[in-house]
Amino acid sequence: MTIRKIAFWTPRVLGILYALFLSIFALDVFSEGYNVAETVLALGMHLIPTAVVAVVLLVAWKSERIGGLLFMLVGAAFWVFFGGRNDWIGSLIISGPLILIGALFLIWGYMEGRSGG
């Protein structure tokens, strides 16, 4: 595998793996003792961050620069919304990979000279 292929696929694979990682956190709704309707609602709410990452990944797949910036913005938003002030280690584990993935998309976008579309 060439460096070019690795540089192309690394942020995409990391984005998919990260979305799967986030999805794992939604599984806790099944241990809460909810009825079926409450479980579906709770599962949907828990999967919103995964959906956000998936949408940004789709954008980044086509437009690396825009997607890279969006990944970084989502990483910053996750830091703010998920407790960056109190639990910085936990927030870094959640936000850090998004910022890294965004940086990798930006690097690839600039390497290829794509302006975003």
| Residues 7-33: tens digit of each pLDDT | 899 999 999 999 999 999 888 888 888
Q: How far apart are CA 117 and CA 97, in angstroms?
A: 24
pLDDT of residue 85: 62
What residues make up the domain containing 90?
3-112
117 lies in some domain: no
The distance from CA 1 to its chain's CA centroid, rounded to whole angstroms, is 25
Contact (Cβ atoms closer than 8 angstroms) between residue 115 and residue 106: no
Mean pLDDT within 58-73: 96
Number of domains, the chain: 1
| Prediction pTM value | 0.85
Q: What share of the chain in percent tops pLDDT 90?
A: 56
> Does residue 105 surpass a pLDDT of 50?
yes
What is the reported pLDDT for 117? Answer: 47
Task: Give the helix ranges, DSSP H, for 1-117.
Answer: 3-24, 36-46, 48-62, 64-81, 88-112
